[in-house]
Amino acid sequence: MQAGDTRLGAYWMPFTANRDFKRAPRVIREARGHHYVADDGRQIYDLVAGLWTSGLGHCHPHIVAAIKDQLDVLDYAMAFQMGHEKAFVLAEQLVGLAPDGFTHCFFTNSGSEAVDSALKIALGYHRARGEAGRTRLIGRERGYHGVNFGGLSVGGMSPNRNAFSACLIPGVDHLRATGDLDHTAFSRGQPEWGAHLADDLQRIAALHDASNIAAVIVEPVAGSTGVLPPPVGYLERLREICDRHGILLIFDEVITAFGRLGKPFAADYFGVTPDIITTAKGLTNGVIPMGAVLVRDHVHAAFMQGPAHLIELFHGYTYSGHPVAAAAGIATLEVYRQEGTFEAAAELAQSFEDLLHSFVGHPLVIDVRNQGLMGAIELASRADTPGARGLEAHKRCFWEEDLVIRNGADTLMFSPFLNSSAGDWEIAFDGVRRVLDTLE
Ligand SMILES: Cc1ncc(COP(=O)(O)O)c(C=O)c1O
């Protein structure tokens, strides 16, 4: 599809500069393994693995076959007051994969829905235990928890919130962001500076009285804001303060779960166990929309009281645990196990870090950050047009270097395939470098 194609008109694209895009559309026709095929036939190497989604590569044959098989048997079954086997099997496998103590799984269709479900579960948990006054929710500046009103309210990415400011849910506070270029720039992995920022939670608890606070939600590694690894000791301190005050800790692992850090969950990687984990993306390798909220036993148990014929949680989606998504999820977990994906990703992390940090010293680069197979290169913004340089880098990578990279304003983000080879990355990052070398 080219500029002027009348079919381009109707589609209002998400998180996209629509008018700019439609002047020179970047359209994908096919995908296989680590490459897209663009509309014009070019093979495009994908350095973002979809949108942090497709760690196993595109169109993985085992997952594709599972979906096709499922469609021959059961397309849909009513999700309320009825069930089908694959949803139960997937839930059991997910809690089996989760850190010790996680016993139940609630299905959604996206990360945003997983976050809003988790927030509701946190509120319901306290109410069920007789602490209905615990309603305040704590998020973090620069956090991204999707685009529904709950996630938007606890999220901290200003452009996403601005237009909806008056409608965000009340009773929300934010911890400060953990990234601070003066103290953390060019850290390899977790910055040494910043554990004290977790004490914001203590300060907020003192301000409101902890008995009013339901939960705090953070991404263990903030992703969409441009990859901010947690300072050494930060997550541990959050856990400690939550324990002290009876506040639930929610890890939003929509990006970090399923091997992005070389472990099943970031909770395993950092050795800090939250009460609730939200996931999506890698749950089905991005093939079919699905999200999940995983909860520890005490959270679930709090709801299981009262007459058994009554609904315990008045919440759910028509497509919760959809058969085709569940089949994709089961197949994806099988591939992770059979191919040793998480271990392979862990082994690649050092090469990825080294490649990213080879950009240190480049005249346009003001920070490089990484954790596991999440990475970011932050470019200095042009004085008059913040964000323009990053978008131009993304576009030129696509047109000139046959590469997909992601930009969030002037930060370039990378989340390569978990089953990559460092050799492929060297070639890809040479392309990124050629673009940066000639970028104004
Ligand atoms: C940490 C986190 N939470 C929630 C979401 C929202 O997920 P979705 O776009 O599937 O609604 C994202 C998406 O990138 C995310 O990174």
- Residue 11 Cα, ligand 1 centroid: separation in angstroms? 21
| 436 within 8 A of 364, measured Cβ to Cβ | yes
**CA-112 nearest atom, ligand 1:** 11
Question: Averaged over 246-257, what is the pLDDT?
Answer: 98
Residue pair 113/144 in contact by the 8 Å Cβ criterion: no
Say what the pLDDT of residue 315 is: 98
**Residue whose CA lies nearest to ligand 1 atom number 7:** 111
Dist. CA 289–CA 286, nearest whole Å: 7
CA atoms within 13 A on the CB side of 183: 14
Q: How confident is the model at residue 40 (pLDDT cuts 50, 70, 90)?
A: very high
Looking at residue 320, its pLDDT comes to 98
Mean pLDDT throughout 88-106?
Answer: 98
Ligand 1 mean position, distance from CA 437 (Å):
32
Report the pLDDT value the prediction gives residue 377, as an integer from 0 to 100: 98
- Give residue 199's pLDDT: 98
**pLDDT confidence bin for 207, thresholds 50/70/90:** very high
Show the domains of the chain with their CATH numbers.
Answer: 6-56+340-437 (3.90.1150.10), 64-338 (3.40.640.10)
Q: What is the mean pLDDT of residues 353-382?
A: 98
- Burial degree of 54 (CB within 10 A; 0-12, 13-18, 19+): buried
Classify 409 in phi/psi space as left (phi over 0), alpha (psi -120 to 50) or beta. left
> Which of 117, 255, 256, 288 should be mutated for ligand 1, with most atoms under 8 A from CB?
255
Q: What whole-number distance in Å separates Cα of residue 112 and Cα of residue 278?
A: 9
Ligand 1 pocket check: which of 53, 54, 108, 112 to mutate, most ligand atoms within 8 Å of Cβ? 112
Helices (H), 321-387: 323-338, 341-357
Q: Looking at the CA of residue 256, tell me the nearest atom of ligand 1.
A: 1
DSSP symbol at 121 = H
Q: What is the pLDDT of residue 140?
A: 98
Gyration radius of the chain over CA positions: 22
pLDDT in tens, 312-335: 999 999 999 999 999 999 999 999
154 pLDDT tier (thresholds 50, 70, 90): very high
Q: Which amino acid is at 291?
A: G
Q: How far is the centre of ligand 1, averaged over its atoms, from the C-alpha of 391 (Å)?
A: 21
What's the average model confidence in pLDDT over 390-408? Answer: 98
Q: What are phi and psi of 320, to 5 degrees?
A: -55, 125
The preferred substitution site among 144, 147, 276 for testing ligand 1, maximizing ligand atoms within 8 Å of CB, is 144
pTM, rounded to two decimals: 0.98
Return the number of other C-beta atoms located less than 10 Å from residue 91's C-beta: 20
Between the CA of 362 and the centroid of ligand 1 the distance, in Å, is: 31
Q: Tell me how far the alpha carbon of residue 146 lies from the centroid of ligand 1, in angstroms.
A: 5
Torsion angles phi and psi, residue 35, rounded to 5: -125, 150
- Report the alpha-carbon distance of residue 189 to residue 350 in Å, rounded: 10
Rounded Cα–Cα distance for residues 421 and 429 (Å): 13
Task: Tell me what pLDDT residue 102 has.
Answer: 98
Q: Tell the residue nearest (CA) to atom 8 of ligand 1.
A: 111
**Side chain identity at residue 365, one-letter code:** V
Find out whether 288 and 325 touch, Cβ atoms under 8 Å.
Answer: yes
Q: CB within 6 Å of ligand 1 — which residues?
A: 110-112, 115, 144-146, 219, 223-224, 252, 254-255, 280
Strand 403-404 to 406-408 pairing: unpaired
Nearest-atom number in ligand 1 for the CA of 224 is 16
Cα 52 to middle of ligand 1, angstroms: 10
Q: Give Cα 63 distance to the centre of its chain.
A: 21
Cα(412) to centroid(ligand 1), Å: 18
